[in-house]
Amino acid sequence: MQKEEFLHIVMPLKDKLYRLAKRILISHDEAEDAVQEVFLKLWNGKELIKKYNKPEAYAMTMTKNYCLDRLKSKQASNLTIVHQNYKSNNSRTEDQVEAKDGVGMVFEIMKQLPEQQRIILQLRDVEEYEYSEIAAVMEMNETAIRVNLSRARKMVREELIKKYNYGLTKN
Amino acid sequence: MDLQKIEQALDAYFEGTTSLAEEKMLQEYFKSGKVAPHLEVYQDMFAFFATAKSEKTSVTPKISETNKQPFYKYMRKWVAVAALLVVALGVTFFINNNSNKISTAEQIEAELAFEKTKEALNFISYQFNSSAQNLAVIQEFEKSTNKIFK
């Protein structure tokens, strides 16, 4: 496969991969590193990508697995403290998107969800994937996807209602 | 938009049974700004999805470097093989050279010892011969005694 052809397939996925990586890793810079790393992996295994009829699902699965591995190794190697410092730095400078009041609150709630539910919610409500596509990316069956999605949405709703009521009683 | 329809869709949404089209409808409804007061809680949620959708990375992933990576990996294998070869050759040469040196040194020493022994033996035989010459006088005595006692 030539470089042009490869870029033609993979480049449009760049932002999707980034959003997924950021949803999992939370940090903006780490998400970008992850995307870079996944691109390298895809390029090295570019012969494999042809075998998959949907390169997008393949790339998304790879990103998901890579980010989850990163999280695991970070927890294992005690780097979480560094990461927290990093995060607070990050929110001040980088992500002004998150600064918006109510929306920022949902960003915070999202961070509390278990990774799997977070990913599924991201894929469905942000990327608007079909259940079958999500099942392919998550390597799970559709029923499990629906159950997890419902749980994630309800969790977000609960937290929102909690915060909403808190705001009302406080005023 | 029909409020009842929205509420139904919202219920289905939280059960995870909505289709993409229904979810799109919900998105539109909450974006419209005309949200029923009791549904306002959910506005942030859908606003979040819209915001999250627009997130983009400014970084363009590079893949040009990757072209080299397999080459490096490939080379690394051969570098290892070459290093092993150099070490193996070095060791064999060292052993060979050393064993040769030992044998030549031994040979020289042995030759030297041989020469020394030869010299010593020659010296002894020379001394022996010269002493034997002096003994010739004794034969004269024997001659004269033989003359007397016949």
pLDDT higher than threshold 60 for residue A26: yes
Structure confidence at residue A76 (pLDDT): 64
Give the closest-approach CA distance of A103 to chain B in angstroms: 5
Q: Quick one: CATH architecture of A1-97?
A: Orthogonal Bundle (1.10)
**A84 pLDDT tier (thresholds 50, 70, 90):** very low
CA distance B72 to B75: 5
Residue of A170, A3, A13, A84 whose CA lies nearest to B60 = A13
Structure confidence at residue B140 (pLDDT): 78
The full DSSP string for A3-24 is: HHHHHHHHGGGHHHHHHHHHHH
Q: With an 8 Å Cβ cutoff, are B57 and A14 in contact?
A: yes
Share of chain A above pLDDT 90, in %: 23
Structure confidence at residue A87 (pLDDT): 45
Report residue A159 as tokens: 């937290």
Please compute the mean of the pLDDT values over residues A114-128 and round it to a whole number.
Answer: 91
pLDDT higher than threshold 80 for residue A151: yes
**A77 pLDDT tier (thresholds 50, 70, 90):** low
Chain B residues whose C-beta sits inside 8 Å of any chain A C-beta: 13-17, 20, 23-24, 41-45, 47-49, 51-57, 59-67, 69-70
Residue of B57, B12, B6, B74 whose CA lies nearest to B36 = B6
Structure confidence at residue A149 (pLDDT): 93
Please compute the mean of the pLDDT values over residues A41-48 and round it to a whole number.
Answer: 80
Report, as ranges of residue numbers, the positions in chain B whose pLDDT lies below 70.
1, 64-70, 100-102, 150
**A88 pLDDT tier (thresholds 50, 70, 90):** very low
Structure confidence at residue B61 (pLDDT): 77
Q: With an 8 Å Cβ cutoff, are A106 and B45 in contact?
A: yes
Please compute the mean of the pLDDT values over residues A68-83 and round it to a whole number.
Answer: 69
Share of chain A above pLDDT 70, in %: 80
pLDDT higher than threshold 70 for residue A129: yes
Please compute the mean of the pLDDT values over residues A109-125 and round it to a whole number.
Answer: 90
Helices (H) and strands (E) in chain A, counts: 10, 0
Structure confidence at residue A154 (pLDDT): 92
For chain A, the domains span 1-97, 100-171
CA distance A119 to A69: 14
CA distance A32 to A137: 20
Domains A1-97 and A100-171 share a fold: no
pLDDT higher than threshold 70 for residue A100: no
Structure confidence at residue A152 (pLDDT): 93
Give the closest-approach CA distance of A160 to chain B in angstroms: 7
Closest residue in chain B to residue A105, using alpha carbons only: B44
pLDDT higher than threshold 50 for residue A90: no
Structure confidence at residue B125 (pLDDT): 93
Please compute the mean of the pLDDT values over residues A136-147 and round it to a whole number.
Answer: 91
The CATH number of A100-171 is: 1.10.10.10
Amino acid at B15: E
pLDDT higher than threshold 50 for residue A83: no
If residue B144 lies in a helix (H) or strand (E), which one and from where to where?
Answer: helix B136-148
For chain B, the domains span 3-54, 67-136
